[in-house]
Structure 1
């Protein structure tokens, strides 16, 4: 009788283990994703659609703040608390890849029928590469151009068909358009001490014949002097030094700035908020005939190298990439792929603006890529702040930045 009880208990125990085994097998694999996307942006919506497929993988989402991405992600990786997937700003991708924090996706991409390198623009694709290998997938791309309020142009005697083409024309127009009595600034842009400030300034330096490796070139100094003139003459709001692009463009949308330097991610919001006629022009150049440039922005997807589920995480990335053709239609973001044609929206303002942004993308240049990009960018940000707050002259500020960057580059 004792033996029979023992055998029955053993059988029950085996049954319980089997049941547990089946239960564990039936549970979805959990993949965590970090991104700064808000509810109207791609990540949470793509994840919602992916989870609706019920394919044995459940994705959990956490929104993080722009200024915290690098520090928080590196801390999470070093302590073994990293998510499976993260979206990082494209110039910071090399920092993670060079330190072994991101998974090498080269072999998986080679076998993928969804993610094909030849379909991507060279700039975004270059930003996910390190040591000739792929450590991510471009999420989207963008650039910046000049938005302007056509109604205000008319009211101040400016031709709305002829937006500013050069830096001097931009300053002259801003002077005419600035109207303190009505709380209207001539221009809105971001000179914030973050990557957003670098993103907005670097194209000016590049158009002036400089760049991060020659940040104190004479043309780059002229660019910062132009920014200082705009700030000193109060042609832009004082909080230009502290607010990001989203908030500065909001000033334009509300009718409190006549022009704004911003990107295509604003188009849908502008259609909703801006109660005036507006247009978009290419970024002004130092002088007629000078070389053009613009920023190359947006984020890349990557998988952390210490993920417990690399195959499932890659399946999630493949799903995200499979939805690239809807990136602009649904979220106002430009796909990083040249094989996707963006259809006309039937909204004249948006379609005309889009043509300009696609033209501007031809001149967009990446920031880096370089593993020490955050240090390089910090040197540029510090120079912008020092010059615009009057602590140093634009030349001295950029000379100091050049010394810091030279030390980083070795």
Structure 2
């Protein structure tokens, strides 16, 4: 589970490279006219948690058995070989018809012709079923190029009921503002137990703070058209001060042994609260089951207490059809079956995930609303209704920009720089990235 976010960021970083490779390929990995007129397509899935491979295999087999028009050849590709294998296939013109693609990789892939437009290939009702705040994740210039599968909020607040009660706090009334969060962190820091854990190094801060950047300012540290940095906006001061106070007061671990995505410090009792993504639910259930009954979740607090403002970005995965595929209709038929069809199919996926990932379709929400396993889960409804519902898309710009701003956060956090100096340095670094990578005017339009 802890490697999940790394794979997403790696996939995002190499998206442009893969897209360029795709442009040079002749395309076509499927074949038609097989036995009984069956069209054969290939589907490559990047390797995820073991239950996901089992789920994909189950429903590929069910799809193949349900009809004779399309046969799917399914292949799991390990994450550490995905880039190399896909690039080689694209160069040889044998790339898969269907592949798993993260949200951040879509704009670059579309710009370079890697993905087929899906409007007209999937029924209109499939698009109408997607939640409004997720719909734009798979669109470029108003056209759909992927069908979403799931979202994973980057930031959720987890806390221990026993320690919260012992500190004289009400576990049924979690902090709503950043100031209240600081009060909780202070009161929960006792002995060897820190008040909370949160990202504290630039590589983790680079992606885990996106939602809080939106929360503080309503925008990210770059202009909407990617023409210039916007890192010096005064509204970011409270964001810097939040991280700075937590670190310098000693309310979070000073030298964490694991990254932000790993819930182990919370599971092992080293911290009383934890900021982590929704995937932490799965890790706690699998590795620290005894902690579940003593854990509550809430949306991460907002800078001013407004619950409608985002505090998390929504990462996740989609299925795309290769732009050079000669079997686009057959490929779309498979995607329609797996991701956009019977809500029970995706409801089963979320059940298998331990409800650590979240649906993008209103019909699947309705299916889960009548599922005893979902309704009895202590976390699912809160995360779905109060975190996913306000989540924003992960930015599509190069991670270099996120890292520049995150470096500023870490510098202020650890007392190496003041806010004006750090944000000026970040602004200069972002402007250099814009110039060197020719980003001006290239921001994707939903």
Query: Aligned partners of 1:389, 1:99: CA distance in 2, in Å?
Result: 41
Out of 75, 78, 81, the position equivalent to 1:63 is 78
The alpha-carbon deviation at position 346 of structure 1 amounts to 5.4
Say if 2:110 is the partner of 1:97. yes
The alpha-carbon deviation at position 138 of structure 1 amounts to 0.7
Query: Aligned partners of 1:51, 1:121: CA distance in 2, in Å?
Result: 28
Contact 1:193-1:241 within 8 A present in 2 as well = no
Output one character per residue of 1:327-352: Cα deviation in whole Å (capped at 9) or x when no partner. 32222221111233222545787345
The answer to which of 71-80 and 99-108 deviates more is 71-80
Contact 1:264-1:357 within 8 A present in 2 as well = no
The alpha-carbon deviation at position 164 of structure 1 amounts to 1.8
Q: Which runs of 5+ in 1 are unaligned?
A: 1-21
Residue correspondence of structure 1 range 151-166 to structure 2 within 5 A: 151-166=162-177
Contact 1:44-1:61 within 8 A present in 2 as well = no
The answer to which of 44-53 and 384-393 deviates more is 384-393
Root mean square deviation of aligned Cα: 3.4
Contact 1:387-1:393 within 8 A present in 2 as well = yes
Output one character per residue of 1:69-90: Cα deviation in whole Å (capped at 9) or x when no partner. 7x65884576346444333332
The alpha-carbon deviation at position 385 of structure 1 amounts to 4.2
Q: Which runs of 5+ in 2 are unaligned?
A: 1-31, 66-70, 223-229, 442-446
Give aligned pairs, total.
376
Say if 2:269 is the partner of 1:261. no
Distance 1:63 1:232, change over 3 A: farther
The alpha-carbon deviation at position 116 of structure 1 amounts to 1.2
The alpha-carbon deviation at position 177 of structure 1 amounts to 1.9
The alpha-carbon deviation at position 306 of structure 1 amounts to 3.5
Output one character per residue of 1:221-246: Cα deviation in whole Å (capped at 9) or x when no partner. 3212211222233322345596141x
Bigger Rg, structure 1 or 2: 1
The answer to which of 118-127 and 302-311 deviates more is 302-311
Query: Aligned partners of 2:260, 2:91: CA distance in 1, in Å?
Result: 30
Distance 1:152 1:91, change over 3 A: same
Equivalent in the alignment of 2:119: 106
Query: Aligned partners of 1:105, 1:347: CA distance in 2, in Å?
Result: 31
Equivalent in the alignment of 1:293: 310
TM-score (norm 2): 0.72
Contact 1:86-1:301 within 8 A present in 2 as well = yes
Out of 152, 155, 164, the position equivalent to 1:142 is 152
The alpha-carbon deviation at position 360 of structure 1 amounts to 2.3
Query: Aligned partners of 1:73, 1:392: CA distance in 2, in Å?
Result: 43
Output one character per residue of 1:9-61: Cα deviation in whole Å (capped at 9) or x when no partner. xxxxxxxxxxxxx99758983614132521133x5422333135545322111
TM-score (norm 1): 0.78
Query: Aligned partners of 2:87, 2:237: CA distance in 1, in Å?
Result: 36
Contact 1:190-1:200 within 8 A present in 2 as well = yes
Out of 203, 216, 226, the position equivalent to 1:208 is 216
Distance 1:357 1:49, change over 3 A: closer
Out of 326, 335, 350, the position equivalent to 1:328 is 350
Query: Aligned partners of 1:120, 1:316: CA distance in 2, in Å?
Result: 18
Equivalent in the alignment of 1:29: 40
Residue correspondence of structure 1 range 5-404 to structure 2 within 5 A: 25=35, 29=40, 31-41=42-52, 43-55=53-65, 56-64=71-79, 75-76=87-88, 79-80=91-92, 82-109=95-122, 112=123, 116-143=126-153, 144-181=155-192, 184-191=193-200, 193-194=202-203, 197-212=205-220, 213=222, 214-238=230-254, 243-245=259-261, 247=262, 249-272=263-286, 273-276=288-291, 277-289=294-306, 292-294=309-311, 295-307=313-325, 309-321=327-339, 322=341, 323-331=345-353, 332=355, 333-340=357-364, 341=366, 342-343=368-369, 345=372, 350-351=377-378, 353-368=380-395, 370=396, 372-388=397-413, 390-404=415-429
Contact 2:47-2:79 within 8 A present in 1 as well = yes
Distance 1:93 1:140, change over 3 A: same
Distance 1:308 1:189, change over 3 A: farther
The answer to which of 116-125 and 316-325 deviates more is 316-325
Output one character per residue of 1:113-157: Cα deviation in whole Å (capped at 9) or x when no partner. 8x6111101232211111221110111123232111111112233
